[in-house]
Amino acid sequence: IINDILDFSKIESGNMAMEETAFSPRTLIESVAELLGHRCFEKGIDIATYAHPRLAGQILADEGRVRQVLLNLAGNAVKFTDTGGVRITATPDADSTFIRFEVADTGIGISDDALPKIFQEFTQADSTFARRYGGTGLGLAICRRFARGFGGDVTFEYSDGTKGTCFRVTLPLIQAT
Ligand code: ADP
């Protein structure tokens, strides 16, 4: 929580320097899934990744922050899913100008009422969730600021009681190799 708030105040004060490194998006999503693997095993849910063949090489982006965004989204997905699982995918758009990371789960979903507020700081979909699931309500706000700082965005794709929830992170795609 302290790290969340520190990150947040850094973004607010414009003190967040972006670091561009070459890394493999496939390895990145695999490592995020691996970090959450034990929690998934304990909950009895699946976690899977898929990277499009056109993303087999390395890309240029701020790996640490992209990891933080994906870990935040995937951590939420695991937190709010009790049956089924979580899928993290990386795909390029048709002309390879953007990379899309998607984190989809088969969890409890987000109600239409809560939806307009989830990207606001310190907001949770249901105030009773804080007690049940923990969290500060800062995660999604930070994810969106990071992504927008990279010239991308974090968007909510869908949610319903039976399908679960899907978030998408879009970033400019710069191939390094
Ligand atoms: P928190 O620290 O509470 O997780 P976030 O900003 O990451 O804060 O998320 C805000 C709220 O959005 C969460 O408290 C939860 O109500 C809702 N939410 C986020 N991701 C999901 C998800 N995958 N499934 C269901 N609800 C979600």
pLDDT at 131: 44
Q: How far apart are CA 27 and CA 58, in angstroms?
A: 9
- Cα 139 from Cα 71, distance rounded (Å): 10
* pTM (whole model) above 0.95: no
Predicted confidence (pLDDT) per residue in 110-156, tens digit: 988 888 888 887 655 555 555 445 454 558 988 898 898 889 999 99
Low-confidence ranges of the chain (pLDDT < 50): 131-132, 134, 136
Q: What's CA 66's distance to the chain center, in Å? A: 8
CB neighbourhood size of 154 (10 A):
24
Residue with the nearest Cα to atom 20 of ligand 1? 76
pLDDT at 112: 86
Write the residue with the smallest CA distance to atom 17 of ligand 1. Answer: 125
What is the 118 CA–ligand 1 centroid distance (Å)?
A: 7
Q: Is the CB of 138 under 6 A from ligand 1?
A: yes
- Cα of 11 vs centre of ligand 1, distance in Å, is 20
Ligand 1 within 6 A of 76 CB? yes
